[in-house]
Amino acid sequence: MEESSKVIHAIYTDDDVLMAAVKKVRAERYHIEEIYTPFPVHGLDKAMGLAPTRLAITAFIYGVIGLVVATVMMDYIMIEDWPQNIGGKPSFSYIEGMPAFVPIMFELTVFFSAHLMVITFYLRSKLWPFKEAENPDVRTTDDHFLMEISAGHNIDEQFDILRNTGAVEVTLIDKAH
Amino acid sequence: MYTISNRLKTFSIILIVLGVLGVAYGFMTSHKSLEEVKIMLADDGHGGGHDVPTEAHVVAGVENHADNTHDIGAHDATADVDQGVHDDEHAAHVQERLAKRPWSAMYVAAFFFMMISLGVLAFYAINVAAQSGWSPLLNRVMEGISAYLLPGAIIVVAIAVGSHYIGHHNEIFIWMNPEVVADDKLIQNKSSYLNIPWFLIRAAIFIAGWVGYRHFARKFSIAQDTAEPGDKSNFKKSFRIAAGFLVFFIYTESIMSWDWVMSVDPHWFSTLFGWYVLSGMLVSGVTVIAMVAIFLKSLGHLPLVNDSHIHDLAKYMFGFSVLWTYLWFSQFMLIWYANIPEEVTYFVTRIEDYNLPFFGMLVLNFLFPLLILMNSDYKRIPWFVMMCGVLILVGHYVDIFVMIMPATVGDQWFIGIPEIGSILLFGGLFLLVVFSSLAKAPLTVKNNPFLKESEHFHY
């Protein structure tokens, strides 16, 4: 168990070098725990073998919820509870007056989809206000890229591989303080 | 280098021949004598003997029409003398509408295919002017499709004016008929704009500008192929004329949509009609680019076009479909809400007499693309994009149909032999012109500064 709390941090200064390194490390069958980058690196998720995001599916579901909420809300407000004569439009039937409600249906669809998607994204990435940053090295917010690999039995060999992929700095970190 | 296969050539020629037969059939059956029309109306009025769907439709329409303008007695065989006069007027009216049907059917199909190539030309110019990196691999496809613009636009204008000069009282644009204008104060006020010479001059300006741009864009594009490495002069020229063309286009496209589409209802007008027609033409154009690209790729002619290019085109199909819906709805909602008689009559006719195509096209042009093309993965599957493209094209044909037909044939519409014949005729011509043009130059551009980026484009 002692072994598993140890990780190796390899630091890169270029995203292309990092991409090549990710492929090499995965080919050597080492497990990449996490990568910290100053900006989103295109294609990194695929190179790391992360499962595709399901955020789009949630966005669709939230949009549908927004559409339903808008429909039920407008039906209650404008038809059931307090019908009003606006421009002589039918105030007794939702479907006949629907063109007037379409903008609201559209807006609430977008509103629900956008806001709930952002909130889902934050929850899923374990982000919330006042949360302490997880970056192990502040330089990853500037111009360095950090790859975190779980340390195996042969740490020296791992060090060699990482140095060969162009890492400018390789360190062994014990996470269990 | 692509060469048009004999099979494709034969196929388009067969389409054209079938189309000509269909159109000819339409013309031969459309001119009925007043007596025949009366018998038809009387038969329909008694509600008997509808063995073909065409007649069933006519019946539904005629009854509506009768309810609107005359009373129910119009159908009564034992009508009094007054009613008899009404019957005559009504029959003459229906007779004119029947005579207009083959012309209108040709016009809708001709405009639809012209609109596709014009939309493609505009989309091409946008990509050139924006110096987009993903599109150069598709430049030749777009240039090829826009080759139909010259014949297509000339055919549209020829049908518009021809329907006035050939035959009697069967013009698509009633403002061309002096007898109608003589009784119509509103059209008289507009006649300084809506008259045949000025209509033709405007059409000539539009066509000259569009086709002129297309000619030079194509010329510079081919010249860039053989340019010295590092020589970008032709690329720069094509950028400059694209930017200039877009300014010309956005004005002329708007005016064209008033002239060639909106003025079929000369009493009615909508200020965003130009945008509405533009969005329809862009979505049909992009759809056809995707379909032609997928077709050529399946023959192995566009080896460098990858899934991401198809994905991008499908995204545009999705996006422009939503744009079309937005503009369609903006036009509809304001008119529906304001409910001013002279405006709302446009939609009343369409909802009453064209209920199925009017709402059906909303499903085809909005709901299907929205639901089918929303998923990212589906946009990368060629056959999927192809099927969705067919739906979108059908939807936009119906859109044009619903723009033109209510003003010309009114409730006497049907999508039958004249309409399908016209689609086959101009569809065949479109295929022949487009693929002959595609065969005239290599399908992949060379020496375009963005070519590398396009080759490596991936999403």
Question: Among partner residues A56, A87, A89, which is closest to B376 by beta-carbon distance?
Answer: A56
- For residues B429 and B9, the answer to whether their CB atoms sit within 8 Å is no
Domain residue ranges in chain A: 3-38+143-174, 55-124
Is a pLDDT exceeding 70 seen at residue B83? no
Is a pLDDT exceeding 50 seen at residue B52? no
Name the minimum distance, in Å, from the CA of B333 to any CA of chain A.
Answer: 6
Q: What is the DSSP letter of A3?
A: G
Report CB contact under 8 Å: B337, A100: yes
Please list the residues that pair with A170 across neighbouring strands.
A10
| Residue B20 falls inside a structural domain | no
**Per-residue confidence (pLDDT) for residue B319, from 0 to 100:** 96
- In A90-151, beta strands by DSSP E: 145-150
A86: left (phi over 0), alpha (psi -120 to 50) or beta: beta
Kindly report, residue by residue over B315-348, the tens digit of the pLDDT.
Answer: 999 999 999 999 999 999 999 999 899 899 999 9
**Per-residue confidence (pLDDT) for residue A115, from 0 to 100:** 96
| Residue B34 falls inside a structural domain | no
| Residue B207 falls inside a structural domain | yes
| Residue B15 falls inside a structural domain | no
Q: Which residue of B has its CA nearest to A90?
A: B337
Is a pLDDT exceeding 70 seen at residue B135? yes
Q: Which domain holds residue B436?
A: 100-455
Mean pLDDT across B79-92: 69
Question: Among partner residues A60, A87, A102, which is closest to B329 by beta-carbon distance?
Answer: A102
Chain B residues near any Cβ of chain A (below 8 Å): 329, 332-333, 336-339, 374-376
**Per-residue confidence (pLDDT) for residue B80, from 0 to 100:** 53
pTM for the structure as a whole: 0.86
Is a pLDDT exceeding 80 seen at residue A177? no
| Residue B90 falls inside a structural domain | no
Kindly report, residue by residue over B197-215, the tens digit of the pLDDT.
Answer: 999 999 999 999 999 999 9
Tokens of A166: 């162009």
**Per-residue confidence (pLDDT) for residue B410, from 0 to 100:** 85
| Residue B386 falls inside a structural domain | yes
Q: Which residue of A has its CA nearest to B322?
A: A106
**Integer Cα distance of B318 and B286 in angstroms:** 10
**Per-residue confidence (pLDDT) for residue B405, from 0 to 100:** 93
Classify domain A3-38+143-174 at the CATH topology level.
Answer: Alpha-Beta Plaits (3.30.70)
**Per-residue confidence (pLDDT) for residue A3, from 0 to 100:** 52
The residue among A78, A94, A77 whose CA lies nearest residue A86 is A78
Q: How many beta-carbon pairs below 8 A join chains A and B?
A: 18
Report CB contact under 8 Å: A100, B374: no
**Per-residue confidence (pLDDT) for residue B290, from 0 to 100:** 96
| Residue B80 falls inside a structural domain | no
Q: For A124-128, B34-38, B55-59, B415-419, which range has the lowest pLDDT when averaged over its residues? A: B55-59
Name the minimum distance, in Å, from the CA of B251 to any CA of chain A.
Answer: 29
Tell me how far the alpha carbon of residue A116 is from its chain's centroid.
Answer: 13
**Per-residue confidence (pLDDT) for residue B73, from 0 to 100:** 41
Number of domains in chain B: 1
Mean pLDDT across A36-43: 90
**Per-residue confidence (pLDDT) for residue B60, from 0 to 100:** 40
**Integer Cα distance of B218 and B146 in angstroms:** 10
| Residue B92 falls inside a structural domain | no
Measured between beta carbons, the chain A residues lying within 8 angstroms of B333 are 99-100, 102-103
Q: Confidence class of residue B69 from pLDDT cuts 50, 70 and 90?
A: very low
* ∠ Cα B67 B69 B72 (to 5°): 40
Backbone φ and ψ of A6, nearest 5°: -90, 135
Q: Confidence class of residue B48 from pLDDT cuts 50, 70 and 90?
A: very low
Tokens of B124: 């091409």
Q: Which residue of A has its CA nearest to B340?
A: A87
Name the minimum distance, in Å, from the CA of A23 to any CA of chain B.
Answer: 19
Share of residues in chain B with pLDDT > 70 (%): 91
Question: Among partner residues A56, A60, A87, which is closest to B337 by beta-carbon distance?
Answer: A87
**Integer Cα distance of B83 and B140 in angstroms:** 63
**Per-residue confidence (pLDDT) for residue B61, from 0 to 100:** 40
Measured between beta carbons, the chain A residues lying within 8 angstroms of B336 are 99
Mean pLDDT across B1-24: 92
**Integer Cα distance of B367 and A156 in angstroms:** 60
ipTM for the complex shown? 0.81
